[in-house]
Structure 1
Amino acid sequence: MTQSFEGKTITCRAAVAWEAAKPLTIEEIQVEPPRAGEVRVKVTHSSICHSDAYTLSGKDYAYRFPMILGHETSGIVESVGEGVTKVKPGDRVIPLYMAECGMCPLCLSGKTNLCGALLKTQAMGIMPDGSSRFSCRGETIYHFMGISGFSEYTVLSQFSVSKVDDDAPLDKVCLIGCCIPTGYGAATRIANVKKGSSCAIFGCGALGLSVIQGAKAAGAGKIIAVDINSAKFDQAKHFGATHCVNPLETPDVKIEQVLKELTDGGLDYTFDTSGGNIEVMKSALEALNNDDSTCVIISLADAGNVLSTNTTSLVGRKLTGCAFGGVKGSELNDYVKLYKEDKLLIDEYITKNINIDEINDGFDDLKHGRSVREVIFM
């Protein structure tokens, strides 16, 4: 049972991003008690995701510095505020960057996993009442994606936590907070991959591996991993890829043409997880066949970059985006159960475990492709 500091401000350690494109610094911060509708969580584990690095770079203009990054996280509820009904102290939880209130028009529509409850405040780095629960040396520290997992304690809306089984291994299931459902769901839900179909996944990082897992689970017949780093292909095959293609090995032939030759005219489904390269996104679209095929864009392009295409490229094809793989927070424990039943790979994503003092090295490893995921033991 996690120690309770109910009603008290907690002083703990956190990795603070004081400004863009600068290393994080380990600081003692103050974490206020949860207010009405809020939950304070003892963070046990957080992994480093490309979205954290993207925001730290300063390319994502939505968030405010100084902030505490981290969103692929797991932990245990320490205390709850007035009116909280979703969880109780002692519950194991996965924080949600895609909230689920269950009451707003979006939640009630049955058409989307998007939720409108926190849209106005989450991107501003504040809680629903317009304030922050973090401070350091008297200065306000802002929240990130409604989570801020690079802190030993954090405060979230009750709509931003998903309860999981009491025996869920928190050092593994933190990855269910982002990369696994996003990629797996992109294949099984957003694209709705059909048995025997052909798929190409651009990028073999954590998201790409998750798409490969999802495509395999859906019964795809041909799963092509595309990456400019051939060292990633053994792992891609372990996750379910049937073919691997490195575009650098055929510099005089466009990758979409290579893929069309491999699939007798084009793919049924393509997925871009490459990290926001507009040209790669275009290649993913152009590699499709014209028989009601689908391209799913999962990557985020840098602010100001625009994906454009000739409208004839859309004939017989669908181009769509993806938010958390179409998965709702209340469904995350299904992924926990799949893992416990040996039907979902998680351990294989984790390159190594680190502590919070090594976090900047972890960001550097991710940047240079030395890791898929590094899990921070908080």
Structure 2
Amino acid sequence: MKVYLDYSATSFKKPNEVFKKIEEFYKSNNTNPGRGGYKLAIEAGKMVLNTRNQIKSLFNVGIKDHIIFTKNVTESLNIAIKGLVKKGDHILISSIEHNSVYRVVEHLKEQGIIDYDIIKVRKDGTFPIKEFNKLFKVNTNLCIINHASNVSGHIMPVGEIGKICKEHNIKFVIDGAQTAGSIPVDFKELNCDVFCFTGHKYLMGPTGIGGFIVKDDIAKDIDTLIDGGTGSFSEESTMPKVLPDRFETGTLNTIGIAGLNGALTYLLNQDINDIYVKEKEMHDRLYEGIRDIPGIIFYGDMEVEKLPVISFNIKGLDSGELAGILDYQYGIMTRSGLHCSPLAHETFNSLDGSIRISIGHFSTNEEIDYVVDILNKLGNYK
């Protein structure tokens, strides 16, 4: 039996609509949108526009706000963070940030551009709102928060965090890598200026496509990360101010956008909350099945509202060794190590790494029961 449980890294199975849309676009069009004025290029542009509108519908994005396509959420975060800061700024991040945020702010600090502080998320995975209020400085200009931990699945109260940021006139960026497509996301209720997402995880699109949603009144404050051709305003020597052109330099990953279009077509015909409830039920089924294994250690509170992600270790078994046994002997694919998030592992006191099981849309109860059986077998006979 082959069981894929690494959805936090990427969705393994994709909806058939993804393959159909990619094949359809490759065979019937495959032109460069926004460049030529011929019919096929115009049709390609319409497909890209349709995908933007799908994202607006899924995330309830305001009519004046903008959808920008990038190659992944890491690029989106780099554009937002580096584009918003100026020399002398102070930044706030949390202690569950992915390296796509942590390394960016650390690099900016090493360059002498900014300073930053880390908001210490509690060991149970909850966010310390009261302590957060005390960390603002006169020069604090930006706050970046991971919507949900890719290590533990704990969801942060971003709406409340965003409200506090607004009160202090601080720009707020959300890393939505784990939440886009996995839980209902309403951009208007997030109280953020920028929401960064990727297409290949819980949105179930192909790799190589991501993006960010940016409020219209903030977009003008973001400097460009990459300059070059946009297919528009070619007579000008600097990047155009108009969006999305300003941030979509060079040829778009049109085939990736086509695949994402197919995935969104599928998702928009589903109820995201129903998907979450089903996956959370499997999460609870897994937790109940393995919680009494001798020596098992879970990270964060397991009985709160969170993504269907479980990180754990079993005393006496190295996480990498256990992941190898699960894969090579039993066909169970998980993730071991630090998951590109050493800050989170420091928070949960798991710096030696952990096993992460992340459940997705195409997971089944049969698979969960199989994993429960194997983990109990290994845990009881180690």
TM-score (norm. length: structure 2): 0.35
- Larger relative strand fraction: 1
* Bigger helix share: 2
The structure showing larger relative contact order (alpha-carbon pairs under 8 Å, at least 6 residues apart) is 2
